Structure formats: structure tokens, C-alpha cells
Structure 1
Amino acid sequence: MLGLTGVLLALLLGLVILQFCKFQWTAKRLPPGPTPLPIIGNLWTVKFQLHHETLMQLARTYGNIMTLWAGQTPLIVLNGYQAVRDALVSNSENFSDRPVTPFFKLFANEKGIIVSNGHTWKQQRRFGLKTLRDLGLGKKGLEWRIQGEAQRLVEFIYSLEGRALDPKRCLMNSVSNVVTAMSFGHHFPLDDKLFLQLIESTDSVANFFGTHWGQLYDAFPWLMHRLPGPQQQTMQHLEFLRSFVMQEIRHHQENPSGDPQDVIDFYLDQIAKTKDDPTSTFNEGNLMQVLIDFFLAGTETTTTTLQWALLYMVIYPDIQDKVQKELDACVETEVIHYEDRKRLQYTNAVIHEIQRCRTALPCALPRQCVKDSTVQGYWIKEGTIIVFNLASAHCDPNHWDAPDTFTPTNFLDMDGNFKSNEAFLPFSAGHRICMGEQLAKTELFIFFTSLLRAFTFRLPQGVTEVNMTGIFGTTFKPHPYQICAIRR
């Protein structure tokens, strides 16, 4: 028996040594990085999470282009504006694929827009962009819906009469209702139970990828799929989203409208138009995933940014006061329009500075190298997974006057006029730039200005400190907090 145990231990040790040698051999052809451990790679080094701040710390040792191992899989991590830009913009087509990771496969099975590739991605994205335009993106039609939700949010907060609230739920409900109206043709009451379950499921699925559990799932899917843990709850939430969306699709099929009014209408028309085209990817499976993609992408980052926005206003009351004075002086109409940003130079700068300091999607979603490429002298093999640390571009001292300080002057010139900065990349760049960038910009501006025009935000009595470290998942959220909205 001892002899058998000894053989098994020797075999195990031999496998570990073999794995270590494999890491070392492969690493010779990759950018530098911390030494990986057998089986888990560098997951221990990064505490099982690709946190943007951890990646920036490692970059000080290994450079702005480095290699980390997620289990058996090497990841090339790009830090700093120049490295990120060279890959996202100069080599955009070469880095335009999504990796088919275990969680991405579970989430979409290569359907929809966010994590699909090739012909499917091109057709679905082209449809998404056209439909957004048809529904009024960049025009008064969609802006009117955003203004209506902003007003409903203001009225809800009015009803609290200054009592402390955690703004996450009401912000998320309001932002989500813009997407539901656009996708399904109707919105929900803010206290609707089904809607609240939809919000909870959206939050769970959208943030799972970036958590410790998400990284473990991708490294060891065969094990994590069977073990108890948060991943099981996320799978249940994903099934709820699919069921909810399919009910909406069935309702549209059973009650056809005349002219298309929402995403489902436009998509069902597209299925009918292309039914005889063998190259078409328009079908119910892709429709369901496109709707889930719209909902997740259109809700999470905008809600998170607005949470940070209100938190920054209570921390910097002088900046809040300056925004409100500019709103009072420059906006005379009852409803705020996106066009007003051209006159609200300081307010516009504040919104951009919030996005810079607390990038909602700090590491974007990973890409995959389409063909052998070179970035700043490093050869990257076809099929390699790339991680873009967008937050590091927002802290790059070569491109920002005050990279470590929250100051709207990062976006203002000497005359106090708004100025853009090429290193500002909250929506990524290149072929995979956020499809809903214009929608998100419009929402952020109208929701933020509507709230600041109606209320002054303060910490509840007795609260003197605020936790600004944030919670890292797929998005970078603030810790739960409460504020008081005092009617102006």
C-alpha cells in the first residue's frame, strides 16, 4: 500500500514539475509577468480577481504590457493609454474578437452582440446600431423617453421628503425603464415585483464575470459547474432573464403591431425579411440574446456611474453648489435637453471627471487576438486573450494634469470651456466600442442635471465618512451608502 502511495505522490509531483516547466517554456515567448504557480497560474497573485488597481501595481514592476496566467491560460494585460490605444485603435481589427470563455459560452453560446464573433457579430451589431437610430437615438424621440424617466425619478425622490435613501435601486429602475421601453415597448412601475426581480437578475449576471467566482468558473468550469456557490445563483438569474425575455417575444408574436415600435418589432420584421437567406443569423435565439445584451449593457454602467456621481456630490459640496449655480443661470426651460451641455461647460466637465475617476467598466470585456500581431514590440499569438485596463489610461500622468485628484479642471481649458482628452476611454474604442455610447451619454447628462436641479444631496445626520474604495465585479461599484435629497 505504501508503495502505491509513493508511486501516486511521485506521479503527482512529476505532473506539477511538468506543468511548471511548460509555464516557463511558454513564458519565454510572452511579455514579462509574475511567475505562475502550477494549476492556478497567477490567480493567487491577483487574489482571484483582475482588479484594475492591482494590474496597475503589477505594471510598475513588469511594464505596461505583461502576462498573467488564469489557471492554464495566458492573458496579455495592457496598461496605460499608449499601450491600450495601440491595440484598440491602431490594431483594432486584429483584436476585435471575444474569447469563447466558459462563462461567455454559458451566458450567450456565441449568440447576440456582446460576446459573439464573426458573421453573427457583424450582422447583429449592424442591426442593433440601425435599430437604435430608428428608435430615435440622437433625436428627440428617445431623449423624450429619458426625460420622462428622469422626471418620474425626481417625483419619487420628492415623495421621500428628505429621508435618507440608498439611491441604487431607484437609479437602476429608472435607467432600466429606458431600456425596457426601447426593447419591449413599455415601462414598469418602479415598485413592480416582476420588474424588481428583473433588476436583481440583471445585476447578478452582469457582475458575475468580474468577481472571484467568475474567474474561478473560467479557470475550472468542470468543477465550478458542480460545486455550490454564487455561480449557481447566477445561473438561476440567467434562466430567469431568458424566460422573461421569451415571454415578451411571445407577446409580440401573438399581438403584432402595425409599424415597428420597439426592438422586438424590428427584429421580428428582420427575421421575416431574411427567412430565405441561408447566410442570415436572424432567429429567435439571437433575438433573445440581443435583448439580454441590450438590457445588461444599457443598465449596469449608467446606473453605476450615477451612483458614483451622487456620492461625489456629497463629498464635494462646493462642486455640487457650482453645478447648481450653472444650471440655474443657463437653463431656463422646464425640461433639460442633451443639447444644453454646450452651455453647461462646468457641469459637463464634472460628469466626465466622474467617469474618469470611477470608470464603470475599468477593464472592459476581454478580447481575443484574431491573427498574429505586434504591440509595442511584443509579439502576440493568434488566439491569445487580451485584457485592456481602461482605468489605467484615465490615470496616465502623461495625459492628465491631475490624474490622482478629482478635479473637473481635467476637462476645462484656461477660459473655463470644456475640452476633450484623447485618453478618455470609458466606452472603449475601435471595432468593439460600446454600441450604446450615445444613449449612455444622453442618460448620464439628463439624469444627473435633473437631479442636481431638483435637489441638494447631503450625508445623513451623524454620517461623516464615506467609503470610496469601491466594489470590483465586472463593473466598479460604490459600497452601499445612504444620502438625503433636500428639495431646492
Structure 2
Amino acid sequence: MDYTSLFIYTLLLLVLLNIIRSWKWWSPDSSSETFPPGPRGLPVIGNLHMINLKRPTETLMKLSKQYGPIFSLRMGSVKMVVLSGYDTVKSALVDHADEFAERPHIPMFEDINQGYGVPFSHGDNWKAMRRFTLTKLRDFGMGKRTIEARIIEECGFLTKLIESLEGKPTDLTEKTNFAIGNIVISIIFGQRFDYQYPALHRLMGLMHENMRLLGSPSVAMYNYFPVLHYLSSGRRKVMKNIEDLQNFFKTEFVDRLKQLDRDDQRGFIDAFLIKQQEECNDPNTYFHEMNLLSTVTTLFMAGTDTTSSTVRWAILFMVQHPDVQRRVHKEIDRVIGLAQPRIDHRKNMPYTNAVIHETQRTANIVPMNLPRETTKDVYFMGYHLPKGTYVIPLLESVLYDDTQFQHPESFRPEHFLDSNGAFMRKAAFMPFSAGRRVCAGETLAKMELFLFITSLLQKFTFHPAPGVTDFKVKPVTGLTISPAAPKICCVRRF
């Protein structure tokens, strides 16, 4: 028997086993009265035929209207529960934080991280790495004046780059990636990279491609059918890109070990390597190269993509809503004038603050959230969720909840303003998720968004390129949602 025939027979056997395993779920006699309801699945594929793999939240939002705020699905071999609406998601992630604190074992992310790092690690490893990462992010300035100074410096570099275009039509994607990426890079390495540095271009290209591929149908199919391990082109490309990223980081680790100084820690890598040396004789230490590689890779990719996309969404919303842009300009001129924007200005700028929050809400960067897993058997909203249940807390359903936002489909800064024009916090504003697995970089991202967006709007007016009469922004779905639009003109205000 040749290898091709062997492969085909093996694949057919695995499909048959999957049918047998899935039959209990598919059979009406096997459904549990205490498990959330949902549409009946087919053998092998489950409910996969119902899902728009390019924009799965679109299908999940529709199903929530049919089955209620908590319902179940089976996607290939993965049985999951979807939570929809602010009340339901908040109850799970905040009120039952411990019970929904785990992360499921997702094939693509297990391949990338091998259970290490922070977002997709588990148990004690997750606790140790999250604690260390949060501590070091604060040590290197997150939420402090030191990181504010770095952000302000990078705003200056970005402004000069845009000024050099002299108002000519441009796409801001690469430029904002460079600027936001440099903030993360400065925390990781202790220094920024020049925008012309070839390695910066290479790193950003790898990051950008992986964020797109991780949300692609090819990778989704692999996650739902792990048997497709060797057939998924998306998986192969992601892993090649991760290898290239991590090879770059490994080279940096070696170089930094040669100059390591306990009393002069330049960045996150130095701090980790020093901790690794301190625990080198502990066989149970979590401070080893795999945790370092996974943590640094995630900090770089997640810390760059989400914030950079949000800055671009904000600018493009200003192009779409020139009346909103004029009001922001007016508030900036009144509160800041020609001075350097600083985080302290935020408390006196309710409209600009509302615009930034409404950008995050409407842009809906991570619509499906990162999935959770129950840590034990949970009785939740009248249903029994066994330990290990795969849970999707649907963030789009929270940010677009019409019981929390009067016009959820529209971009309206007034969602975050009271009748007197004062900034108004909303409990349903949770773009960084919530609970035990809330985004570790939330504080940094909020500071970056205010300083970058305010600095850019202080210096420029943004409008469509000449000849563009129907300016539209379209969401591009990957692991996150980024904006795609015609090129825009960035014209100096003074």
C-alpha cells in the first residue's frame, strides 16, 4: 500500500470515529435538559454549515435572538456554549469570575504557545506568568509618567512621518503599526527601532499576516477538525511566521545575556533573563525560554495590532463624521492649544474621551472575545455547564447591546456623555474583556489611544482623498477586526 492510500484510509477512519463520537450529541435522545439549547447539529460537522466563517459573530448574534442569551453549538469536534448580551456576559466573567477563568485548549494556539506564556496558558503557569508580566509592565512604566514620555516621543516621530507626506493621499496602516509597535518594542527591549530599520518592517509584516490568518476559515477549520493538521495551509503559514518571529527574539536573548546587568534592566527581556538566572536550580521553575518566547511574542503581536487598529478606526471615523472631527478640534484647541497633549488633559476633555470610547465600542476589535473554559461544574442561569465547557463570551453582543446603548449600530459619542456633556462611564463598555482574563495591557492601551489620537487630531485635519465621493470604512476580519478604507489626506492645521 502506498503512502497516499494509507493517508486516505487513515483519514476515513478518523472521520468515522468522529461520527461515532458525535452521534450522542446529534441524537435527540441524548440531549440534556439542563444544558443550554441550540440548533441541532449534523454528524461530523455539527453546526458548521450554519456559520459564516468569515464573520462568525454575525451568525452568533442571529442565533442569540432565536435561542436566547445562552445557547450551545457544536463546531466539528468542538462543543461550545455562547453567552450573549451584557447581563449574561457580565454575570459569567465578573460575578462568576473564578468559574470562567480557564482557557480552552485551541489547536492553533496550542501549536504556537505549547501551553506557555499568558493568554493561552493554563493553571499555575498562567498565574505565574501573568503575575510576573503585570509586575514588569508596571516596573517599565505602564500607567506611569515614564511610559507617557515614551508615547509622547513616538507621537512626535509619527507626526513628522505624516507631515512629510505633505497632505498627499495615504494609507496609515503601516505608519500606525510602526508607532504603536515601537511602544511595545521599547518595553520589551528597552529601546525603539527607527522606522527605516529593516527588522522593524519584517516584524510588522509577520505580525500583520498572522493576525489576518489566525481569523481565517482555514485556521478555523483546523481548530474545529484537528485531524486537518497537515492539510491546513493557514496553519502552516502561521507556524512559519511564528518561527521567524521567535528566531529574531532568540537572537536578541543571546545578545542581551552578554550585556545583562541586574542593576540596569533595559526592558522586559532583561528582567525575565535575570529571574531565570535566579531560579536556574529550581527544576519546577516557570522561567524558561519557552515561557519567555511565548510571552514576548504575544506582547508584541497583541500589543501592536489592537491599539494600532483602534487608532486607525478613530481617524477614519473622523473622516466619515466631519462634524465630530470639528468638535474634537474645538475641544483640543480650548483645553490644550499648541501645548503637548498629556494624559492629565483627559479629565478636561469629555467629548474627545467619549469619541475614543465610542470608537472602541463601534470598531468592536475583538468581537468574539478570547474563549473561556469552565474550571469546575457550574450552574449558570438555570443550566448545568460541566467542568471544561468551551465558552464564547460574545463581546459584540455586549458592545452592541440595545439595552445599554440607545443606537448601538451608529457611531455616536453621545453614548458616553450625560445631558450636561460630562463624560459618562458605561458598565457595558468592556472591549478589553473582563474578569480573571482581562487584557493585561488595558492601562497601557488607554494611555496610548488618548495620546496618539489627541496628538494626531491636534496637528491634522483628516478628509477623503480628492475624487472620493462615497467614503466608506469596511471591517477586515482576522483574529481582530481592522479597518479598510480608501486612502485619506492628512492636512496640517497650522
TM-score (norm 1): 0.94
C-alpha separation between the residues in 2 aligned to 1:232 and 1:315? 38
Does the 8 Å contact 1:83/1:375 carry over to 2? no
C-alpha separation between the residues in 2 aligned to 1:164 and 1:243? 36
277-286 or 455-464, larger mean C-alpha shift: 277-286
Structure 2, unpaired ranges of 5+:
1-11
Choose the corresponding residue for 2:26, options 20, 23, 26: 23
Does the 8 Å contact 1:80/1:389 carry over to 2? yes
Alpha-carbon displacement from aligned partner over 1:97-145 (angstroms, at most 9, x marks no partner): 1111211111100001110011111111110111011111111101111
Alpha-carbon displacement from aligned partner over 1:172-195 (angstroms, at most 9, x marks no partner): 110000011110122212132221
Match of 1:69 in 2: 74
Query: SS of the residue aligned with 1:44?
Result: helix
Choose the corresponding residue for 2:114, options 104, 109, 118: 109
Match of 1:243 in 2: 247
Q: Percent identity?
A: 37
Choose the corresponding residue for 1:481, options 476, 482, 486: 486
Query: SS of the residue aligned with 1:351?
Result: helix
Aligned-residue offset at 1:211: 2.2
Equivalent residues in 2 for 1:400-419 (5 A)?
400-419=405-424
Letter in 2 for 1:152: F
Match of 2:58 in 1: 53
Equivalent residues in 2 for 1:38-437 (5 A)?
38-49=43-54, 51-223=56-228, 225-227=229-231, 229-257=233-261, 258-332=263-337, 334-437=339-442
408-417 or 26-35, larger mean C-alpha shift: 26-35
Distance 1:204 1:26, change over 3 A: farther
Aligned-residue offset at 1:212: 1.1
Aligned-residue offset at 1:62: 1.1
C-alpha separation between the residues in 2 aligned to 1:14 and 1:385? 21
Aligned-residue offset at 1:280: 2.3
Q: Is 1:439 the counterpart of 2:444 in the alignment?
A: yes
Aligned-residue offset at 1:284: 1.5
Does the 8 Å contact 2:170/2:489 carry over to 1? yes
Query: SS of the residue aligned with 1:478?
Result: strand
C-alpha separation between the residues in 2 aligned to 1:468 and 1:31? 37
477-486 or 128-137, larger mean C-alpha shift: 477-486
Match of 1:4 in 2: none
C-alpha separation between the residues in 1 aligned to 2:69 and 2:473? 26
Query: SS of the residue aligned with 1:95?
Result: coil
Letter in 2 for 1:157: I
C-alpha separation between the residues in 2 aligned to 1:333 and 1:433? 36
C-alpha separation between the residues in 2 aligned to 1:312 and 1:352? 12
Query: SS of the residue aligned with 2:484?
Result: coil
Structure 1, unpaired ranges of 5+:
1-8
Query: SS of the residue aligned with 2:49?
Result: coil
Letter in 2 for 1:256: L
C-alpha separation between the residues in 1 aligned to 2:364 and 2:187? 25
Alpha-carbon displacement from aligned partner over 1:264-291 (angstroms, at most 9, x marks no partner): 1111111122233444211121111111
Alpha-carbon displacement from aligned partner over 1:148-174 (angstroms, at most 9, x marks no partner): 111100000000000111111100110
C-alpha separation between the residues in 1 aligned to 2:123 and 2:155? 38
Distance 1:28 1:140, change over 3 A: same
Letter in 1 for 2:132: F
Letter in 1 for 2:307: T
Alpha-carbon displacement from aligned partner over 1:230-266 (angstroms, at most 9, x marks no partner): 3322121111111011111111011223411200111
Does the 8 Å contact 2:18/2:77 carry over to 1? no
Letter in 2 for 1:168: T
Q: CA RMSD in A?
A: 1.9
Query: SS of the residue aligned with 1:86?
Result: helix
TM-score (norm 2): 0.93
Does the 8 Å contact 1:370/1:382 carry over to 2? yes
